[in-house]
Amino acid sequence: MILSTPHPKATTNSMLRHASEQPDPPESAADRHVTTPFQVKGPHAPTRRRLDYIASVVLAVGLAMAAPTSSLASAACPALLNHSIPRLQDEVPQNLCQYAGKVVLVVNTASKCGFTSQYEGLEKLYDRYRNAGLVVLGFPSGDFGGQELSTNKEIAEFCSNTFAVRFPMLVKSSVRGKEANPVFAGLIRESGTAPKWNFYKYLIGRDGRLVKVYSSFTAPDEAAFVQDVERSLKKGS
């Protein structure tokens, strides 16, 4: 269910109008002698309680103006991407929300697998469609047969030197079971399908929703798979 959030200006105007319509509370003798920068005198001179009330409204308005910005920013990032995971090359945390609005292909990779040659096809797919809004995210893992290299440095060098991989790669992690990284944990919950081997592929649309899951046997240049990618790129573009 999508909840409608009032525009900050509408909320602010309503609060200020409400403040101006409030009657003065009962005042004491001390309240009647409030010095203001404007030195307003007579029946319309503000009381101390009135000034305190206005100050509280101004503070509330400031908070109201600030709060929607953060909440809307959070709402704009789909749950499947709302994670920070270190980059493979230097282990600097990467906020995956930077890919919100793009078509994202998530792949669990391995360097010593019979499907490792798919790196070449994935790089070609990324290079062909990246300007149209496609990003490929590689998640190295040794979950299947221990077919991944030991360190992130070794994996990064292998990907670069062997297949000239330029699409984003994240640090080595688990992609199944209780130890699955948060991205794959979310994909498994969403799809009901955990990867059964290396190079499983999860296609996420521009709206942040899972489109389809593909097995290791689906090659990156397979016609039906490429068509799914192209259709996803056209939606919402």
pLDDT of the residue at 69: 38
What average pLDDT does range 89-106 have in this prediction? 98
pLDDT band per the 50, 70, 90 thresholds, residue 2:
very low
Q: Is 159 a catalytic residue?
A: no
- 79-234: in CATH 3.40.50.300: no
Which region among 53-67, 136-150, 165-179, 204-218 has the lowest average model confidence (pLDDT)? 53-67
131 or 51, greater pLDDT = 131
Residue 237: the pLDDT is: 66
Say how far apart CA 237 and CA 233 lie, in whole Å.
Answer: 7
When the pLDDT of each residue in the chain is averaged and rounded to a whole number, the result is: 82
Q: Choose, from 77, 97, 113, 159, the residue flagged as catalytic.
A: 113
With 0.85 as the threshold, say if the pTM is over it. no
Other CB atoms within a 10 A radius of the CB of residue 229 amount to: 21
Residue 190 burial (CB count, 10 A):
15
- Read off the pLDDT of each residue in 91-110 and give the average, rounded to a whole number: 98
For the chain, which residues make up each domain, given as ranges? 10-18+38-76, 79-234
Calpha distance 93→208 (Å, rounded): 21
pLDDT for res 236: 74
